[in-house]
Each structure stands twice: as structure tokens, then as C-alpha cells.
Chains A and B, each alone.
Chain A
């Protein structure tokens, strides 16, 4: 009984077929590995074979990887080492088969799947766009542990192999052919027959060494050269991760100890390094976040039978930076988009913004020149309502002023049919109030993009009082078509992300006002793992924008959201942040120095630990209130929202996952202390938190 693995033989060439009987997907569970082990024992005895191809019976999936649940279940370093050793022992048997082996990649070939492919003598793939090839383990906080960390650099060379593992990059068949990860590409239709012919044509198991130019030879084959490569890689990783992620550094360490060496020892080293990562909290959190983000890509927010967004033309009202960014995003999906504003200067600005984003993509070679022209040709502009009436989805992105927004919505509702979704990109105003003035208010919804629109992966879809489930579903599907992860929130001030983020920024402002230097505050947040400190973020967002939202929240929630006076002072002084060159910092290109014009206190005695608690716990506390008020449905939604919407460090698992790792009781104690020492209102514990502390439960349990 070999379970998921089958052997067939025709004309002396064997085919080893992987077909997981329990699922549409091929995944290497330990059961499947064990049965592969037995199958390989059988194959090694076959004297009648002159070659073997390894295939998948699943359409467009080769092997999606090892079973991530099993990786998540690893608890001890020994457990980790054993698992890695077992896997690579099996792949070693594949490698050692006495006849040439060819791996036939017909779809996703990732992680353990590609490590299996690497244990074959050759790899072929089809031209299918469904194919993605790579070793993405680093994204889960681990390293390839079935020999991939050794075999990939050996196959393609250090200069190409190391970055592939470090970035966890998944490549197309064409890229894989170019960098040597596969040897041949064939048409999808004839992949198997072409692979068979290729396997028969192979003279033996070996391959001739790669040709290298002089500089590659120096960097890969001399100790000095390699030292340069590792040093550069380490610096790049530190710059990118600020040292929060152990996996990439561990990978560099491993490769530096194994590249250029042979023998069983190097594989043993791989298992040891794997074990160091397999049990880390960072890895466990990254795996949780991975499952979370997969879930939210498909999560159904309503149970309506709506299957498509029904959007063939899109309108955008308001040609600011957001409007331009949204227009770019929509046009990039091949949809015509009409942008309306009240003057040509604004319209030209929106086009310039969209052009800038495309130009950036062109520079990074994500798109070609003709794609830029095609996208831009889909964006048209207007000063009147022409073209709006035939739009299926209109996104309002005018200034944050309820009166103006209501006027816009009223106008739009009168020129459009009941099936046109009217969405507001407001960051903090009540969508229900905009719906009130509309004909058919059930098609009015919030669709909150984050700045910069093309980069930020999250949107909040906001359910106003009368929004219909169909409208929500269509909006969710539309946002997903634009490549975004969606969370659904109720129509409460600040929705989810801004309601949590603003208290954090505000608290940072209080710390600054009390005399803690802005660089210190930012460093504390960055050390925690946030991509940017709060003061720098305030400057990026724009002090006036931040102030406006903070003020709306203060009005809605009273004393506990009281805006720090320093924010108002800075805004009044006209220091608006990066866009005006001066805010809390003075910005000079990419450099920034604290702005002496900002009057702060001096000699703050707050410790770094307390400063961090004040900034993070205030978010946790507010998140607890959001759950009490059912602004969002679950702690998981808070976590995905904060990771995707604010860059809350994924290795912490999300805001409430982080809270759970500390425990409600210690957080409650700190909040009570801060309420006494700092501010009674701002740190007054939320009921839910008190309840969790009393019962000893977590947000997620």
C-alpha cells in the first residue's frame, strides 16, 4: 500500500505519480512522506527502468509544499530536527536512484514540493501561468529543511540561490528557466510526453558545470568573494527587517557554512539550523498570520448568493491623491474609470498621481511601457456628471467634510440607477449620514482605502445602517478584484483601523509633549517591529489630516480620545509634515532631523518600556471596546486589519494575538497603573478586558 504514490512503467521509463486521494491539493504530509519512502525503496530495486519522471495527478498543482499545520505543531528542537532529517533522508533516496530522474512541474511547486524537485536530476515545467516555483519558507519564519537550502544554491549558484531563499520569492516558469531553477519548458498540452522524451535522452545523472563569468567566479568560488556576498546579504536583511526576523539571518549563516561543500554533514547542518527556527514564537506567529491572511482572502462576509461585483465601469469623485490612486488601481485591472472634480488642476493632479504610480511600476519592471499607456488611456476625467450615470460603482473621495459629501451623494443618487453602488472612501465620517440623503440608501457603503492606495493591502468595507448585504458582497468582491484584503466594519467613528491607530499616534504626541524626544519615541516603536515610528508616521500622513481625524474621534468618544495639545500647536504653526517639508521633523529628501520649532517639555522620566506600553496597550484597550461594540466581528479581524492596515508587526501575530501572549491580567494591571499615574480617562480599562482578566481567557480563546 503506497497511498498517494503510484508507479506506472511504459517502454522502460517509469512514472512516479503523486495523487493525494483526500484533497484537490497535493501537500507533503508526514503520511505521504512515509509512503513515498516505501515507494522509493521499491523503485531503487527496479532494474528494468532506464529513467523516471515524477508527476502530479492534480490539475495545475504539482506539490504546494509541506503540511504547514505540521510545521506549526512542532514544539521541541528535537522534534524539528527529526522531521527535517526524515524528510531529507527520503529525498536522498530519490536523488540516489540509479537512473536519471526528471521532475515534471505542472503547477504550484513550492517549499517541500520544490525541494523534492531539487532532489531529481532535472526539472521541466510547462509555460502555464498557473505555475509558481520557489522556496517561500522564510515567510513562515523557517528555512527549507528538506535539503533545499543546500541544493538550490548548488544548482543555480550562490549569487542567484541565496537571494531566492532569503526573499522566499516565487517565480514564473520563464524566470525559473532563466535562472536555472528548471532545465526545460514545454507546452502544457504535451508536457508529459515531452518530459518523457527528455528523460530518455539524458545520458546519465550528472550535469556539466555551469559556465561563470569572471566576477561570478570570484564571488562564488573564493573565500574573499563569498565573504563579500554574505556580508552584503546580512546588511540587506538587517536594513529590511531591523533584526526582528531570525530566519533570514539563520539562512545566511547556514549557507555560509555549507555552500561549496559536499558530504552528508552539510545536510545535517541544515536540520540543525532548521530546528533553531522551527520552535520560535516568530515562526508560530507568522504561520498564524499566513493562515489568517489566506482565510481573509476568501472570507464570506454575508450569505447572499451574489457571485460577481457587476462592475464594468467605475467612477471616482474627488481627484486628490486618494482619487488618483484609486483610479490607477482600477485602470490597472483593465476597467475604464471616470474621475470627476470641480477643476482641471485637480483632475490633472489625479492623472499625474496615477501616472507616477505606473511610472514607478515601469521602473521596477513590473509593467511595460505599453501597459502604462493602456492603463492611462482607461482613465478619463470630467467636470460634469457625464459618464457617471453609467458607472456601476462610484467611489467618493472628496474632502472629509460631511456637508460636501452629502451633497455629492445626493447628486450621484439622482443620476444613477438603484444597482449602482455608491461608496465613500471616508476615513472617519459616518457613512449612514451620507446614505440618508440618497435615493436607494441600501446601495450606499463605505470603502476605505489606505494611503498609498497601490501599496496598502487592506480596505475597510463599512456597513451603514441600511446597506444591503448585496451591496456589501459586491463591494467586497470589487475590492478583492483590485487585489485588496477586506475587513467588514460597522459604521462607527474611525471604523477599526483609524480608531485604534489614532489613540496610538495621540499617545506618542503626549509622550513628546512630556519631553520624550521624537527620535526616542520612534525608535521604541521601530524596535517593537512597527515599520515606522508614530511621529514619523504623523509627518507622513500629514499633521492636518491626522488632526482632523483625531478631532472627529475626540468628539465621538470624549475625554479618552482627547487630542494632545501639541498636535494642535504644530498644526497651527503650519507645520504639516512631510508634504510641507516640516512637521515634527524637518524633512530633506529622505533625511529627517527633529524640528526645533516644535515646543516640547523636557526631561521626561518615562521609561522606554512604559512608553511602549502606553502606545500599544491603548490600542489593545480600544480594540477590546471595538469588540464589545461589535465594530468588527472577531479578534482575528482586528489582527488582520492592523497587520494589513498599519503594518503592525506580523511576527507578533497581530495586535490581539500579541495581547494574548502577554495575558489580559498583566495588561489590565498596567492600564490601572497608567490610569492612576498618567491619565484616568485614556487608560480606563475596557469592560471586555476586565472580563478576560477575571476569567483568564484571551481575545482569541
Chain B
């Protein structure tokens, strides 16, 4: 029998709204802080750590293979390995599941897996045409040549595009992520009121869980001034009212839309790191583990409905493992958009959805809202794309321990039309 792969311990930075407190912190610096902290907290001998695998969607332009940069900055031996993974919004999952695969394949024994993302530092990009002119200008030798190049510049050449905006748009279906949420909202008729109520609950739960979340968060003293020390996620709004949410205009479909900034996840900076190894190895080293990765799966689906990813992948994962939904004590579905989470819950409970998509199968079952995202989610915490997957695993495992729950299921929708899910277990 294949060994069980355990998550020994994990830690994350606070999730910080982009362009605020972590504005000057690069993804590599955030990641290094987090890995350093994990190594210190666990006391793991870095000679034992075979590999660092990190998810990162917006790879920093000044740190190719950011996982390797993080590994070295955190003082891991130079002889160790590191690579970066990108499965878009599920990159934080992919890092963990890749680690599991590496360990099971016998390539690695001990892995630090997680994610790092500085959405604040996503670059602005010039058009190909403008870039060509800049290159010509650099190559120009005489004053006359330079003048002739300068004369070709037009105002539009000086309007760069935000790489972040481009990254959040699906190049195959042409929709940006918010527009896909609108598609799902319309298909399942998820009203604006339900979305806003869900968002409000996300904020309420995060506020109620502050103390619990602090257990997984490391304090970051913010360089370069070190005038601020942050221990809490800063996207959550105290005293948010339904009226305030209701006042917001739809962002992605001004006239008929229901998806607003208030019921979508936030753009966020952060990092997360987990220590993985075979469970028996962890025991031999004297660790009390958080839990094990029992199973995982990814599926593909229609890109314009990417928000339904969790519904598809959860069905497949439970079918393959033969575990009924009711035996799962805790759920995390990443809150990319309130509309999409609500749609997934409906889809899983719907006979029609099952008949259409999984011919010959029953509906998967009802997820009790009281067991879903019990400590809030991406709407209040933010969704640093390369990190969220690892964060969901960490948050869920810690909550499973508190509630003494045997099984937990975490899932994500993935831009580009995929879904990912990980089944967690505790003894």
C-alpha cells in the first residue's frame, strides 16, 4: 500500500490587499519569509528538505523560477531542488499534489510546498508595437536616427496594459473571470441578494475567526521601514452592512449584471508554505502531523463556466474514492465569486445537473452551509491566485483538528475551465 503523505505543519503570511501594506514586498521575499518561518517553527533540518515547490501565477519578472529563489533566500542548502508550478488559480493545490506525486514516485521524501504571489507587483506591459519602437530607439546611433524613431511614437504607445488585467482574462473564450461568474450566475439564477448575503457572511465569519486564523498566520514586520507589524488579514471589513454591498455597481456587466467588487474575491498579496513527508517519516521524526492528503483530482470543463469547476471535480473525486458526501465533515470551496460558490452547491444537490453531466448518476448531495467555509473565504480574505490552494488546505486541516473531524474536502475553480479538489484526512 502506498504510504500516506502527511502535512506536518504550515504557515502563511497575512493576506494583504494588493497595493497596500505589502506593496513593496516581492513575491520572492514573501515566499522566503514564509519558508524561513516554517523551517523555524518545525525545526526541520534543511538538509532533509529535498525540494521546494511553489505555486505562482504572476511569476515575478526579476525572479524566474521563483521557488528556487525563495529556497535560496530562505537559506536552504544550494544542493536542494526547487521548481515553480502554475495551474492558474489552483497553483497552490498543484504545488501540494506535485509534492505528493514526487514523494510517492520516490523522487523526494521531504518537500516544502506552497505558493507565493505579489499581485501588487504585476507589471505594466507595453504593446508589441511600442516595444519595437523602444528597441529601435536604443539601437539608433545618430541624432537623426533617434529623431526619426521618436517621430513615429504616438500617444497610444505610452498607454501600457496591466498584466494583471490580461492574466485575469481567459484568452480562449475571451471573457474575464468576472464575466464567467456572470455566466454562471445567470445560468443558475443566483440573485444579487443571495450573492451579497453570502459575501456578508464571509466577512462575518472571518471576523469571528480572527483568533483561529492567527494560529496559521505569521507576523510580518514590514520592510523596509519596519514601522508596521501585521498579524491579521486586512481585506476583511468590520461593520460591513447589506446596504453598503447593495450600493456597489456590477463591474463586469454594467446593465444586467449581479457580480460586484463586494461579492467577488479581492486582489491580494501573500504566501503560504506547508511541510510534507510520508506519515511514518513524520512520526519517526517525532512530529504530530496536521493530517494527510488522502486523494485529489482535477477536471476540465467549459472555460466560460469555469466557476463550476468544484461541482465537476468533487463529483469525480468522490466517485473515484467511493466516499459519500455526507461522510465529509468540513468543506472549503474557494470564494472566487459568491455566485460561483452558490452555483456549485446547487449543482451538487441537483438531480438535473447530475443527469445532464454525469449520466446515470444520482445528485452528489447537499453541502450544509454551516460546514462550508466556516472561517470565511476569499471574498473577505482575498485570493492571491498562486497561494489560495495551499491556504485552503492549511485552514481546513487546522479546523478539522479543532473540530476533531476525520475528513475535509477543499476545492477550487480554475480560470481557463478546470476544477481541483483535495481530500484531507485525520486519524
Contacts and interface: CB of A to CB of B under 8 A. Distances in A.
Interface in B209-247: 219, 221, 223-229, 231
A380 B40 contact: yes
Given A386-B41, A389-B43, A377 B226 contact: no
Interface stretch (B29-37, B252-260, B310-318): B29-37
Interface stretch (A42-50, A53-61, A340-348): A340-348
Interface in A353-370: 355, 359
Interface string B2-41: 0000000000000000000000001011001100110111
Contact of B219 (A349, A374, A377, A381): A381
A294 B28 CA distance: 41
B75 A378 contact: yes
B36 A377 contact: yes
A348 B226 CA distance: 5
Given A345-B229, A373-B28, 18 more contacts: A336-B36, A336-B39, A336-B40, A336-B75, A344-B219, A344-B231, A347-B219, A347-B221, A348-B221, A374-B72, A377-B33, A377-B73, A377-B75, A378-B73, A378-B74, A383-B219, A386-B40, A387-B43
A124 interface: no
Contacts of A352: 225-227
A310 to B, nearest CB: 13
Interface string B54-95: 000000000000000000111100000000000000000000
Contacts of B43: 387, 389-390
Contacts of A344: 219, 221, 229, 231
B223 A376 contact: yes
Contacts of B221: 344, 347-348, 351, 381
Most A Cβ at <10 Å: residue of B36, B74, B221, B225: B221
Contacts of A359: 224
Contacts of B72: 374
B29 A377 contact: yes
A344 B217 CA distance: 14
Contact of A380 (B29, B37, B223, B231): B37
B27 to A, nearest CB: 12
Interface of B: 26, 28-29, 32-33, 36-37, 39-41, 43, 45, 72-75, 219, 221, 223-229, 231
A443 interface: no
A336 B37 CA distance: 10
A374 B73 contact: yes
Nearest to A382: B40
A601 interface: no
A386 B41 CA distance: 5
Contacts of A3: none
A83 interface: no
B229 to A, nearest CB: 4
Interface string A381-424: 11100110110000000000000000000000000000000000
B40 A387 contact: yes
A334 B78 CA distance: 12
B73 A348 contact: no
A387 B229 CA distance: 20
B65 to A, nearest CB: 15
B290 to A, nearest CB: 16
A336 B35 CA distance: 12
A202 B29 CA distance: 51
Q: Lowest 6 CB-CB distances: which A-B pairs, in order?
A: A387-B40, A390-B43, A352-B226, A377-B32, A348-B221, A344-B229
A345 B33 CA distance: 18
B229 A348 contact: yes
Contacts of B40: 336, 338, 380, 382, 386-387, 390
Nearest to B44: A390
A361 to B, nearest CB: 14
Contacts of A345: 229
28 contacts: A336-B36, A336-B39, A336-B74, A336-B75, A338-B40, A344-B219, A345-B229, A347-B219, A347-B229, A348-B226, A348-B228, A349-B226, A351-B223, A373-B26, A373-B28, A373-B32, A373-B73, A374-B72, A374-B73, A376-B223, A377-B33, A377-B73, A378-B36, A378-B73, A380-B37, A383-B219, A390-B40, A390-B45
Most B Cβ at <10 Å: residue of A334, A348, A349, A387: A348
B234 to A, nearest CB: 16
Nearest to A376: B223
A349 B228 CA distance: 10
Contacts of A382: 40
A382 B220 CA distance: 10
Given A377-B33, A378-B36, A355 B226 contact: yes
A336 B43 CA distance: 12
A376 B26 CA distance: 13
A377 B33 CA distance: 6
Nearest to A352: B226
A349 B26 CA distance: 21
Contacts of A389: 43
A389 B39 CA distance: 12
B263 to A, nearest CB: 34
Given A344-B221, A382-B40, A386-B41, A373 B29 contact: yes
Contacts of B36: 336, 377-378, 380
Given A336-B36, A352-B226, A377-B29, A387 B219 contact: no
Contacts of B75: 334-336, 377-378
Nearest to B40: A387
A335 B225 CA distance: 23
Contacts of B39: 336
A576 to B, nearest CB: 23
B54 to A, nearest CB: 14
Contacts of B224: 355, 359
A611 to B, nearest CB: 44
Given A374-B72, A389-B43, A348 B37 contact: no
Nearest to B224: A355
Contacts of B225: 352
Nearest to A354: B226
Contacts of A374: 72-73
Nearest to B28: A373
Contacts of A386: 40-41
A60 to B, nearest CB: 24
A360 to B, nearest CB: 13
B227 A348 contact: yes
Contacts of A355: 223-224, 226
A335 B227 CA distance: 25
A383 B225 CA distance: 20
A242 B43 CA distance: 52
B187 to A, nearest CB: 46
A152 B17 CA distance: 59
Nearest to B35: A377
Nearest to B38: A380
Nearest to B62: A370
Contacts of B32: 373, 377
A327 to B, nearest CB: 12
A352 B225 CA distance: 6
Contacts of A338: 40
Contacts of A383: 219
Most B Cβ at <10 Å: residue of A377, A382, A387: A377
A262 B41 CA distance: 69
A359 B32 CA distance: 19
Interface in A82-139: none
Nearest to B228: A348
Contacts of A376: 223
Nearest to A331: B75
A393 B74 CA distance: 19
B30 to A, nearest CB: 10
A311 to B, nearest CB: 13
B320 to A, nearest CB: 39
Given A377-B33, A378-B36, A380-B40, A351 B219 contact: no
B231 to A, nearest CB: 8
A190 to B, nearest CB: 27
